[in-house]
């Protein structure tokens, strides 16, 4: 288990010129369960809130709650420096949207997609470690008008998460 900070950097891909979202740094709780010496399951909990804009104008704010489950492979689990890679799935829910444009939208529906990870643990002593990792979420959602109707566009967010945490082995 580890507790730390994660910087979330959305990588917006949209037909809207100048579409962007703010980077956010938030607390994160990571839980890792070792299946054997090299393989582990990892999940984390956290909520982020981003401001979305296009062409310099603020569109609104939305919160996201991403849940992910990853299978990690630890290359050198008995070493003080233990690198790993991981792959898995995420399910991200959008909520608490507000703002001049977002108030008139029904979107954003939840999305399920792939997530990739690379990182390392560094043993401080036999009980405590420092964790650094980078995760790439593949995340998109449809934007729809508030009264229903056809999709306006698909918004690809594909955030990069960079985390630093302190953990304890149990």
> Taking the domains of the chain in order of start, what are their residue ranges?
2-168
Measured CA to CA, the distance from residue 137 to residue 166 in angstroms comes to 22
Phi, psi of 139 (to 5 degrees): -135, 125
Residue of 8, 6, 4, 45 lying closest to 160 (CA atoms): 8
Q: Name the CATH topology of 2-168.
A: Porin (2.40.160)
Predicted local confidence at residue 101, as pLDDT: 73
User: In 69-80, which positions are buried (b, 16+ CB within 10 angstroms) versus exposed (e)?
Assistant: ebebebeeeeee
pLDDT per residue of the chain (170 residues) written in tens, 0 to 9? 999 999 999 998 877 777 889 999 999 999 999 999 999 999 998 899 999 888 888 888 989 999 999 999 999 999 999 999 999 999 999 888 888 777 767 667 889 999 999 999 999 999 999 999 999 999 988 777 666 667 777 888 999 999 999 999 98
Looking at 10-110, which runs of residues are DSSP E strands?
A: 20-21, 24-34, 39-45, 48-54, 57-74, 81-98
Number of H helices, E strands in the chain: 0, 12
DSSP H stretches of helix in the chain: none
- Whose tokens are 């962007």? That residue is 20
Helix, strand or coil for residue 104? helix
Predicted local confidence at residue 59, as pLDDT: 83
pTM as predicted: 0.89
166 alpha-carbon distance from chain centroid: 18
**Pairing mode, if any, of strands 24-34 and 160-168?**
unpaired
């Amino acid at each position: 288990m580890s507790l730390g900070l994660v910087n979330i950097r959305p990588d917006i891909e949209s037909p809207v010129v100048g579409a962007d979202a703010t980077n956010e740094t938030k607390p994160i709780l990571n839980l890792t369960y070792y299946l054997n010496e090299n393989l582990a399951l990892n999940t984390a909990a956290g909520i982020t809130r981003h401001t979305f804009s296009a062409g310099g104008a603020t569109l609104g704010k939305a919160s996201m709650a991403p849940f992910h489950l990853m299978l990690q492979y630890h290359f050198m689990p008995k070493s003080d420096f233990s690198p790993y890679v991981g792959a898995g799935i995420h399910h991200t829910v959008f909520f608490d949207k507000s703002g001049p444009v977002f108030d008139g939208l029904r979107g954003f529906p939840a999305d399920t997609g792939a997530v990739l990870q690379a990182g390392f643990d560094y043993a401080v002593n036999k009980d405590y470690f420092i964790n650094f990792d980078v995760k790439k979420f593949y995340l998109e959602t449809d934007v729809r008008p508030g009264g229903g109707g056809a999709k306006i566009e698909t918004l690809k967010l594909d955030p990069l998460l960079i985390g630093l945490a302190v953990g304890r082995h149990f």
